[in-house]
Amino acid sequence: MDHRTAGQPGYLAERIAEFAHDLSLDDIPEPVRAVARAHLLDGVGTALAATPLDFGRAIHDAARHLGHGTESHVIGFGTALPAASAALANGTLIHGLDFDDTHIGAIYHATAPSLAATLAVAEAQEADGASALVAYVLGLEIGCRIARIGAGRFHDRGFHPTGIAGAFAAATVAGRLRRQSVATMVNALGLCGSQAAGILEVRESWLKRFHPGWAAHSGLVASTVAGAGFLGPTSVFEGPRGLFATHLAEVPDASTLRIDDLGSRWMTSEIAIKPYPCCHMTHAFIDGAREVLAELGAAALSPEDIDRIECPIAARMMRSVTEPTETKIAPQTLYQALFSVQYAVALTLVRGSVDLAAFYDEPLDDPAVLAVARKVVCPPDEHSDYPAHFTGDVTVHLRDGRSIHKRIPDSRGSRQWPMSTEDITAKFESNARRALPTDNVNAIVKVVGDIESCADVSELLHLTTA
């Protein structure tokens, strides 16, 4: 029986592989390339900032124990490993701080799996920067589209779309850089279906950090196995036991797939860069709190200034960033703080900013921050259009009787409110300097800014080690 989606010629895997096989650098508009270069720089920076931390050292050590090799290097460590192992480490490092980019409509961390796969395979293939950039953009485009098909519904069913869609993105990246045939790439995508994974039963573990690393690793393994002639199911997406049926409980109709606009609509340009190192669902609330401070002309507020704070939020987001209330108001662990609207708003109002230092260098139990967090209530937002937007709504009721309300439809860093090139570079420099001397930091900015002229991607990887 043919299980193709009604009205669509060819299986989805075939159409993805054909696009990946045929895309050229000239097909990608310069504004899209510029966005990709910015996100590439951002991803390298978030990985570097993670290298000194406990989970960064752990994933590096684990990748070393998986086997020896000389194909590719781990960002910040300089360790040579087999490509799949380097991708495992790099994907985990890029996402580990939850400071990497997000396609908000897809609820998908786009760069981590795609860039990890790109750097690993490009170095192993001795590819130039132009080839790497094409592969990276392909990974972004394919990953975003697969995640977008199940936007919100993956989360509702307990799946992390980055771990799932990222594997297919990585396989596409690898197939392109390895110059595989369309048929081989289809087999690789089919094999990814049984490797794409990521459940959100995270609790206080490091599991979520691992997902994009595993996705990149899985995509490279699938590409390698397919390259040896191993067959995978062409109907991996649409089949009665394929990805959509098992993970979404239905096969979407043709209009939902949004594959026909590959090459005309560039989802790369829709991906948001994070200005704050915490869950993206909290960002618009941080922006709202910052605007409250700006209207008051204050750098910060004390708990005594505030009577209560109302932060309406989409009901489907509550499980991620407002519940259970007790641990979101007074986080006992880093992850509880990173995924708390109450804590993020309080941190902003009390300290005036939210940065890496607030989570990694300073205590989480500042009495002033916790006192304000206890005043935050998060009722359902009846006007939210989640998952299309992560809206933030903040009303601060002051003890002097004033109430200041700010509604932020799109957070800073999104396509509607983009960060400037200077801001993105400054973010990279701040992150990278946690691991590298200034000369290396400046050199990376230069290489990435002209990545199409880079003769060998290994040049970039070598700069990431002090």
Taking only the tens place, the pLDDT of each residue in 83-114 is 999 999 999 999 999 999 999 999 999 999 99
Lowest mean pLDDT among 2-6, 107-111, 421-425, 446-450: 2-6
Tell which residue, 144, 114, 106, 111, has the closest CA to residue 42. Answer: 111
If you average pLDDT over residues 292-316, what whole number do you get?
97
Taking only the tens place, the pLDDT of each residue in 144-153 is 999 999 999 9
Is pLDDT of 328 > 60? yes
Taking only the tens place, the pLDDT of each residue in 351-368 is 999 999 999 999 999 999
- Report the pLDDT value the prediction gives residue 451, as an integer from 0 to 100: 98
- Report the pLDDT value the prediction gives residue 7, as an integer from 0 to 100: 36
Q: What is the spatial distance between Cα 154 and Cα 418, in angstroms, rounded to a whole number? A: 27
Tell which residue, 64, 65, 66, has the closest CA to residue 74. Answer: 64
Q: What is the spatial distance between Cα 168 and Cα 16, in angstroms, rounded to a whole number? A: 10
CA angle 269, 29, 145 (to 5 degrees): 40
- Report the pLDDT value the prediction gives residue 253, as an integer from 0 to 100: 74
Tell how far CA 411 is from the center of its chain.
Answer: 15
If you average pLDDT over residues 194-202, what whole number do you get?
94
User: E strand or H helix at 422, and its extent?
Assistant: helix 421-432
Do residues 308 and 377 lie in contact, with contact meaning Cβ atoms separated by under 8 Å? yes
Distances (CA, A) of 63 to 50, 84, 86, 92, 323: 15, 9, 7, 11, 34
- Band of pLDDT at residue 255, cut at 50, 70 and 90: low
